[in-house]
Structure 1
């Protein structure tokens, strides 16, 4: 069965925003180029608005929001906006639906921005992209909202609480993929203690029990996401799978099912532009079995003897589709 695919995370937008010669169709440049998505039968791709923590973060986020808006208009034969109509008429779609997300809330507010500026930026980005698949408060490092996954002892800050309060009721999930453990705990506690209407997901994360890395979820947080009806997108990056064993990818997927994630586990490949990356130890970023977005059918085929047809369909697209239908209804 050649399932359609939903993938929860790629960095096409930052690639297009930063590189002067960037091209969304350049298969040699980025593993989520549009032809790769089409070859892999990707029906919906989440594209992150990514920034790191620096003074120009808001400008970079603005540029990416405008690029996203232009992308589905300029390439309307290939791409569609994956809004409510797209999701409700899923079986009739033959283009790649794209949906934006925010990876690092520094894009809403740099370290010196006022809250009037943050609210204005938030509303501007949401207006340009129409809907957000999720918001991650941090990336790897600390910012004004909390601690990223490579920070220890830094949880949810006062500004992080304020941003969560503003997100509530807008049908935008909060993403735990880049939180420190303390930040993840703080987010969950703030949502619960204030009865906030905010879904919780991990858009592109693996399992620490399989590969001990701070970017991966503890079983406790994974179970909490599952319990809250969220989704967990399995990440294809070698550093977060097992730097030596390609097949560990399948163990991460199966771990999610073992934890009760039959309705939660999905794909979050995390394809991004790697040619300008400074750390040679990270190369190759992806094992050949998952080196670009054309590989989804063969990955699913490798799991046919391990998962039922229902679970394979859930992993491929159904879990993500039903999640977004539910929160946007």
Structure 2
């Protein structure tokens, strides 16, 4: 089943920035390489600018911003900027549209940089990439903005509040995919208390009700995203689906429709460069059913017995399309 696909998260830019001789069309290296995206009929791909919490985080983010620009220049026949006009005619498009996002605000301001650096660097990245789709304040660990998903008892910090205040009205979503529960709660409370204009999403998260993992969303936070008109991108990583059940992704998707999140669920595959990953217990990172971006049509075929055509269209592209059209209008 070949529907247009919108995917809300991959780490192609990180691969291009850190791996010697990396190329976006090397399908043997990374599961979101351009030929695989084309085979999967991906029409819009969010490219995360990912950094860890370390002194060089701002430089790495800057390099990835440059890689985004170079990517569009090198593959101008295959790629274009994602925008409202493209989304409105997504069914007629041959190219893949791309948009940048920020995974871990440590890339905007390292731990010892002045907070003003965060807003200045955000403006630079917006100018360089054309648009930032969303920002996640943290990754797995704690930083100056708040607590990551593997931290306990660390919520939203003062610098996190300042960055949220600056984001308000800029058509950039806040991403809950890597927050601690306490940080997610703090973000939502601060948005409400200050009446901020910030959409809320989970760009690449599954459901804790299916697989009890700290990286997955509780139903409570999924409900918050639903009530705020956001989207939830189902993550393809084995560790966040179920370590041992190859078709568990189907259960996460069906769970979304069963629990009333049918207008939120989309794809957030989280494909990244895995060859240098030191923890061998994580290999293979992806089950064969979703091992690379070419698998979207066959995944939809697997779901066709359980979901209607209308539901499959929502999952494949319409939910994400509606969200970004509304956000970017």
If the length of structure 2 is used for normalisation, what is the TM-score?
0.99
2:200 aligned residue: 200
The alpha carbon displacement at 1:92 in A equals 3.0
Instruction: Please state whether the residue corresponding to 1:7 is helix, strand or coil.
Output: strand
1:292 aligned residue: 292
Quick one: distance in 2 between partners of 1:117 and 1:235?
A: 31
Quick one: distance in 2 between partners of 1:90 and 1:32?
A: 19
Aligned 8 A contact 1:58 1:109 in 2: yes
The alpha carbon displacement at 1:74 in A equals 1.5
Matches within 5 A, 1:206-245: 206-245=206-245
Structure 1's consecutive aligned runs of 4 or more residues displaced over 3 angstroms after TM superposition are: none
2:141 aligned residue: 141
Quick one: distance in 2 between partners of 1:83 and 1:57?
A: 28
Quick one: distance in 2 between partners of 1:236 and 1:268?
A: 7
Aligned 8 A contact 1:223 1:259 in 2: no
Quick one: distance in 1 between partners of 2:222 and 2:251?
A: 15
2:4 aligned residue: 4
2:150 aligned residue: 150
The alpha carbon displacement at 1:91 in A equals 3.1
Aligned 8 A contact 2:4 2:90 in 1: no
Quick one: distance in 2 between partners of 1:95 and 1:230?
A: 26
Aligned 8 A contact 1:9 1:47 in 2: yes
1:65 aligned residue: 65
Of stretches 40-49 and 86-95 in structure 1, the one that deviates more from structure 2 is: 86-95
Q: Does 1:264 align with 2:254?
A: no
Quick one: distance in 1 between partners of 2:91 and 2:29?
A: 31
The alpha carbon displacement at 1:85 in A equals 2.5
The alpha carbon displacement at 1:260 in A equals 1.1
Quick one: distance in 2 between partners of 1:251 and 1:324?
A: 26
How many residues are treated as equivalent by the alignment?
A: 329
Aligned 8 A contact 1:216 1:240 in 2: yes
1:39-86 Cα deviation digits (max 9, x unpaired): 000001101000000010000000001110111122011111112222
Aligned 8 A contact 1:233 1:268 in 2: yes
Quick one: distance in 1 between partners of 2:271 and 2:71?
A: 18
The alpha carbon displacement at 1:307 in A equals 0.8
Instruction: Please state whether the residue corresponding to 1:193 is helix, strand or coil.
Output: helix
Aligned 8 A contact 1:87 1:321 in 2: yes
Of stretches 186-195 and 256-265 in structure 1, the one that deviates more from structure 2 is: 256-265
Aligned 8 A contact 2:202 2:231 in 1: yes
If the length of structure 1 is used for normalisation, what is the TM-score?
0.99
1:321 aligned residue: 321
Instruction: Please state whether the residue corresponding to 2:214 is helix, strand or coil.
Output: coil
1:168 aligned residue: 168
1:217-245 Cα deviation digits (max 9, x unpaired): 00100111011110000000000000000
Quick one: distance in 1 between partners of 2:314 and 2:171?
A: 22
Q: Does 1:37 align with 2:21?
A: no
Aligned 8 A contact 1:32 1:292 in 2: yes
Gaps spanning 5+ residues in structure 2: where?
Answer: none
Quick one: distance in 1 between partners of 2:2 and 2:247?
A: 21
Quick one: distance in 1 between partners of 2:117 and 2:182?
A: 27
Matches within 5 A, 1:173-188: 173-188=173-188
The alpha carbon displacement at 1:136 in A equals 0.2
CA RMSD in angstroms comes to 0.8
Quick one: distance in 2 between partners of 1:306 and 1:89?
A: 28
Quick one: distance in 1 between partners of 2:181 and 2:138?
A: 12
Quick one: distance in 1 between partners of 2:268 and 2:35?
A: 18
